[in-house]
Structure 1
Amino acid sequence: MPTKNSQTVSDGFSAEERAAMKARAAELRAEGKKGAKKADDLQAALDSIAKMAPEDRELAERVHMAVTTAAPELSPKTWYGMPAYANADGKVVVAFKNSGKFNSRYSTLEFQDAANLDDGDMWPVSYAIQKWSPVVEQKIVELMKAAVS
């Protein structure tokens, strides 16, 4: 059986990543009232991910890492119980809807009207995700960069 390390993608967040997120939440709380709100929102998003079924949780954790890396100006929070990411005005730009939430066959990454994805008179705002891959990650990074541009 192969050994697993902190870089194993299929296992979701590594112990180091979890520790870093908890440390960041503590830093935000230490900033005072505004920082505490951000820390609480981050914790709520992480808690919503933790409650998901293993397959959904794995996707949500990878989406969280891709979104927060590609668009660090967005703040994690929950939106209708889903992990979401809001702009400085508090408007949700994107949310992750896990397949278990409504018993669907795939999870979705759903962009809201605060996302700058406009392309003529019609464009996609929801993307189905069934499995994580480097191609999926790259597409999410591209979408996030466009959404916050």
Structure 2
Amino acid sequence: MPAKKATTTTQPDGFSAEERAAMKGRAAELRAEGKKGAKAADGLQALLDGIAAMDAEDRALAERVHVTVSATAPDLVPKTWYGMPAYANADGKIVLFFQNAGKFKYRYATLGFQDEANLDDGDIWATSYALQKWTPAVEKKVIALVKAAIS
């Protein structure tokens, strides 16, 4: 499949409209997390709302990622991060996230891992994976990655 060219328009300050929206979303997330009485349930609801707003293909992948991560690593806290479904450790640090293809008009969705993930493997290792469709083999790989990330 040939790569699709991104159709984002860069503003004079160097940020696309999609990037600006992600930054505004992150600022809103930080404000919500800082409010008294903020609960983990609020993060879960924000994550589910974010998934519901995705187009059908991305939503189907995000739902499978959510079910798989929740079952494999129930101690990770669901939340959003720059508007993307994400999962954090007890300290609130993001371990992994799902970036839908439509977010930045990419050709594929991405399952990404942050520094908190224990995926180190020598001097070079992958920190993100393209997701185009959900299969039993993909599920098995995601489960293995999540288990390694939280080990």
Asked if Structure 1 and Structure 2 have the same fold, meaning a TM-score greater than 0.5 normalized by the shorter chain, the answer is yes
Q: Which residue is equivalent to 1:116?
A: 118
CA displacement, residues 71-111 of structure 1 (integer Å, 9 cap, x when unaligned): 11101000000000000010000000000001011000000
Higher relative contact order (CA 8 A, sep 6+): 2
* Structure 1 Cα separation of the partners of residues 129 and 40 of structure 2: 27
User: Which 4+ runs in 1 deviate beyond 3 A?
Assistant: none
* Structure 1 Cα separation of the partners of residues 37 and 64 of structure 2: 24
How far apart are 1:36 and its partner, in Å?
5.6
Runs (5+) with no aligned partner, structure 2:
1-35
Q: Quick one: which of 115, 132, 135 aligns to 1:133?
A: 135
Residue 149 of structure 2 corresponds to residue 147 of structure 1: yes
Q: Provide the secondary structure at the position in 1 that maps to 2:79.
A: strand
* Structure 2 Cα separation of the partners of residues 124 and 61 of structure 1: 23
Q: Which residue is equivalent to 2:50?
A: 48
Q: Which residue is equivalent to 2:84?
A: 82
Amino acid at match of 1:128: A
Q: Which residue is equivalent to 2:39?
A: 37
* Structure 2 Cα separation of the partners of residues 60 and 145 of structure 1: 18
**Against the structure 1 CA distance between its residues 43 and 118, is the aligned structure 2 distance closer, same or farther, given a 3 Å change threshold?**
same
How far apart are 1:35 and its partner, in Å?
8.5
Q: Which residue is equivalent to 1:69?
A: 71
**Against the structure 1 CA distance between its residues 70 and 35, is the aligned structure 2 distance closer, same or farther, given a 3 Å change threshold?**
farther
Q: Provide the secondary structure at the position in 2 that maps to 1:110.
A: strand
* Structure 1 Cα separation of the partners of residues 120 and 37 of structure 2: 32
- Aligned-CA RMSD value: 1.5
How far apart are 1:46 and its partner, in Å?
0.3
Residue 99 of structure 2 corresponds to residue 97 of structure 1: yes
Aligned length: 117
* Structure 1 Cα separation of the partners of residues 71 and 109 of structure 2: 20
Q: Which residue is equivalent to 2:61?
A: 59
How far apart are 1:147 and its partner, in Å?
0.2
* Structure 2 Cα separation of the partners of residues 40 and 72 of structure 1: 16
Structure 1 residues 6-45: aligned runs within 5 Å: 37-45=39-47
Runs (5+) with no aligned partner, structure 1:
1-33
